[in-house]
Amino acid sequence: MYKARKFPRNDSLSGWVGLLPARQPRPALNDNINADVAIIGAGFAGLSAARRLSQLDPTLRIAILEAGVVGEGATGRNSGFVIDLPHEVSSQDFGDTSNERARRDITLYRTAIALATDMAGQYGWGREILDPCGRYSVAISHKGDTHINTYARQLQGLGEAHEILDAKGIQAVTGSALYTSGLYMPGTLMVQPAAYIRAVADSFQAPVTLYENSAVKSFEKQAGSWLLKTAKGAVQAGRIILANNGHAQSFGLFRGQLLHVFTYASMSEPFDPKRLAGKRDWAATPALPMGTTVRRVSGADGDRLLIRSRYSYHAGLEINEGHVRSAGRIHDIKFAARFPGLLNVKMQYRWGGPMALTLNSVPAFGEIEPGLFAACACNGLGASKSTAAGIAAAEAAMGLNSPMVEIFRGYEAPKNLPPQPFLSIGAKANLSVREWRAGAE
């Protein structure tokens, strides 16, 4: 039996959720049901798996079990970049990825983008949910400029479209005079993550059923099928897809292999768009890993800016308001440096969200035992990687040896982490060094 030792808990309100009307959750599971496939987790991975399963066999009975309310967990705390080109949080340098690895990653990411784009077209979602606007990488130092040029040369070698912008060019986009250069990549989708995941969840119809506020307490193999239990119900299913990222460890899986890191964001109150020049909707990742992500979002009540920076390790999979406030103080400094003309604009929302990393930056993926499939450990870039993992897990669960399944099966297994207390000491020191290297970026 796999028994949950703890359940997801979110203290702070994500700005993406705060901008939406309150959700009326789907009913919780309160009965005993049968399903062909049970999916644990209704985030990027879980809902993408459900979508792909339905494409492969529209008659499949699929039960999606979400511990909380859709959009309020890790997915709704994402910054919304569904990227198509490799850029890993864990990498030292944009240019350290071989062409073979880069092309593999591009295949994964563009398959994820195709799934999202197909749904947007089918259901008529507007740009307020999914915007194919591309992204920028931005620098504020000579070191950052060097990284951008290095990465641009790699993209040129791969034959990928891009555009380098000088200081004046990137200022015309962002309205900030701090940036010294930029690199535009047109293939990234930007989503309002909470709105997107709600829209995906609400697109399903029978025989796919979503149960919210239905945390899985345990699951076990019984007579050739799986029995999953929640507080008030149970599911008998032939297959399980585990799509709860770091919380797979709460069931005792991947023990000693998942590193739990939180990243933090702040979102401003709305301001008059005339106060900041440049485009009204743009998104920028930092030239240096562990730097500062910035996103401008337009709205009927004005524009907002999102600042994402700061990383911290938490083995217990939880943070508190003190951690959020501490990161927020850093965000305020970053915001003031980039947008000095908006000094009286306050932050309305602050939050943190979890990532599950592995020591060798590979997913926790595959068939753990007959009928039990995992699509966990996104290693950052959750919108792209988790979506891709969900697609591949669905195909694997259906017995397909697809290109996506082959790529995921080609990864080596996650390496074991050092024992405590060396793990905590090393993880915290490593994050501090990486943030120090990123400097003002």
* Domain membership flag for residue 72: yes
Tokens of 348: 């309305």
**Boundaries of domain holding 25:** 2-76+194-255+359-418
What is residue 381's predicted lDDT score, i.e. its pLDDT? 87
Q: Measuring CA to CA, how many Å separate 109 from each of 55, 92, 376, 387? A: 19, 20, 16, 8
Count how many domains the chain has: 1
| Backbone φ and ψ of 78, nearest 5° | -70, 160
Q: What is the pLDDT of residues 308-365, one digit of tens each?
A: 999 999 999 999 999 999 999 999 999 999 999 999 999 999 999 999 999 999 999 9
* Domain membership flag for residue 294: no
Query: 355 and 379 in contact (C-beta within 8 Å)?
Result: yes
Give the rounded percent of residues in the chain with a pLDDT score beyond 90.
88
- Residues of the chain predicted below pLDDT 50: 88-97
What is residue 415's predicted lDDT score, i.e. its pLDDT? 96
What is residue 97's predicted lDDT score, i.e. its pLDDT? 47
What is residue 425's predicted lDDT score, i.e. its pLDDT? 92
What is residue 289's predicted lDDT score, i.e. its pLDDT? 85
Instruction: Provide the whole-model pTM.
Output: 0.95
What is residue 169's predicted lDDT score, i.e. its pLDDT? 98
In the three-class reduction of DSSP (H, G, I as helix; E, B as strand; rest coil), residue 250 is classed as helix
* Domain membership flag for residue 269: no
Q: What is the pLDDT of residues 276-291, one digit of tens each?
A: 999 999 999 999 988 9
What is residue 93's predicted lDDT score, i.e. its pLDDT? 39
Residue 212 sits in a domain of what CATH number?
3.50.50.60
* Domain membership flag for residue 121: no
* Domain membership flag for residue 300: no
CA distance 127 to 107: 24
Report the amino acid identity of residue 112: A
